């Protein structure tokens, strides 16, 4: 399994539709300070279902929508699509290519799609949860995040490990079942 492409439209500084294509192996994103490198990683986190605005370096979720510049008006929605090569069947779905889309409007509502079909956030989370690229995104180590892990309380560190081990999904399901 590997990431094939990521398309950002109205997401943070990417006002116009921008597609990044990835090959298997290592991809480097280079550019001057403030050019949008971290925004690309934020888009990856976001399309995979991140709920915390703080994880995306914003005050509120709406901050992911292009806020406008001197020469360009703000936009009303952000959209990110991620295409994953699933020819090895690592994701539990009968497609060799899987595309996940998240769209958000200024009223805060998010829409999700898997291969063009509307779905729930939970469906996206479940699809990814055993893949090693889960919702809490500890495989994406952002600027400053290393120290956060090093300084974490023992129970927080346990959550990192549980996610990596694939236990978190079952814990979430159990919590959900107990709430009913
Ligand atoms: P560094 O090398 O300093 O880490 P970077 O390439 O990671 O820089 P980012 O943090 O990805 O840069 O991009 C920051 C830029 O994105 C800033 O110019 C900021 O104004 C812009 N930006 C963030 N959110 C929005 C938004 N909602 N609308 C428009 N621009 C935004
Ligand atoms: Mg950065």
168-179 and 121-129 are packed helices; what angle lies between their axes, rounded to 10 degrees? 140
CA of 115 to the centre of ligand 2 (A): 30
Task: State the CB neighbour count (10 A cutoff) for residue 136.
Answer: 19
| Cβ atoms of residues 99 and 81 within 8 Å | yes
Long-range contacts of 102-106 (CB under 8 A, 24+ apart): 102/46, 102/47, 102/49, 103/77, 103/78, 103/79, 104/61, 104/62, 104/64, 104/65, 104/77, 104/78, 104/79, 105/76, 105/77, 106/62, 106/65, 106/76, 106/77
CA dihedral 31, 36, 40, 46 (to 10 degrees): 160
Q: Which residue has the higher pLDDT, 28 or 131?
A: 28
The pLDDT assigned to 15 comes to: 97
CA of 175 to the centre of ligand 2 (A): 35
Question: 55-69, 73-87, 162-176: lowest mean pLDDT where?
Answer: 162-176
Q: Which of the four pLDDT bands, split at 50, 70 and 90, describes residue 64? A: very high
Q: Which of the four pLDDT bands, split at 50, 70 and 90, describes residue 172? A: confident
| pTM confidence score | 0.83
CA of 38 to the centre of ligand 2 (A): 4
Q: Which of the four pLDDT bands, split at 50, 70 and 90, describes residue 130? A: confident
Residue 4 has pLDDT above 90, yes or no: yes
| Cβ atoms of residues 46 and 54 within 8 Å | no
Average pLDDT over residues 59-76: 94
Residue 138 has pLDDT above 80, yes or no: no
Task: Give CA–CA dist 60/106, Å, rounded.
Answer: 11
Residue 134 has pLDDT above 70, yes or no: no
Report percent pLDDT > 90 for the chain: 58
Average pLDDT over residues 48-61: 80
Does 115 belong to an annotated binding site?
no
Q: Which helix (H) or strand (E) holds 136?
A: none
Ligand 1 close to Cβ of residue 63 (< 6 A):
yes
Maximum average pLDDT range among 52-56, 78-82, 161-165, 167-171: 78-82
Ligand 1 close to Cβ of residue 134 (< 6 A):
no
DSSP H helical segments within the chain, as ranges? 37-47, 121-129, 145-150, 154-165, 168-179
The pLDDT assigned to 162 comes to: 80
Which residue owns the Cα nearest ligand 1 atom 11? 36
**Closest among 67, 56, 82, 54 to 15, alpha carbons compared:** 67
Q: Which of the four pLDDT bands, split at 50, 70 and 90, describes residue 50? A: confident
Task: Give CA–CA dist 20/5, Å, rounded.
Answer: 5
């Amino acid at each position: 399994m590997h990431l094939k492409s990521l398309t950002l439209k109205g997401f943070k500084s990417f006002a116009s539709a921008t597609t990044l294509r990835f090959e298997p192996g290592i991809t480097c994103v280079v550019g001057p300070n403030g050019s949008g490198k971290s925004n690309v990683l934020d888009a990856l986190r976001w399309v995979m279902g991140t709920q915390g605005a703080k994880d995306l370096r914003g005050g509120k979720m709406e901050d992911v929508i292009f806020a406008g510049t001197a020469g360009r008006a703000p936009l009303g929605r952000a959209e990110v699509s991620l295409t994953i090569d699933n020819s090895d069947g690592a994701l539990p779905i009968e497609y060799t290519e899987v595309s996940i889309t998240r769209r958000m409007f200024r009223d805060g509502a998010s829409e999700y799609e898997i291969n063009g079909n509307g779905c729930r956030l939970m469906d996206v989370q479940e699809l990814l949860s055993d893949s090693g690229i889960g919702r809490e995104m500890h495989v994406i180590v952002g600027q400053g995040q290393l120290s956060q892990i090093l300084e974490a309380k023992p129970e927080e560190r346990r959550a990192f490990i549980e996610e990596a081990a694939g236990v978190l999904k079952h814990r979430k399901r159990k919590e959900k079942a107990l709430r009913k």
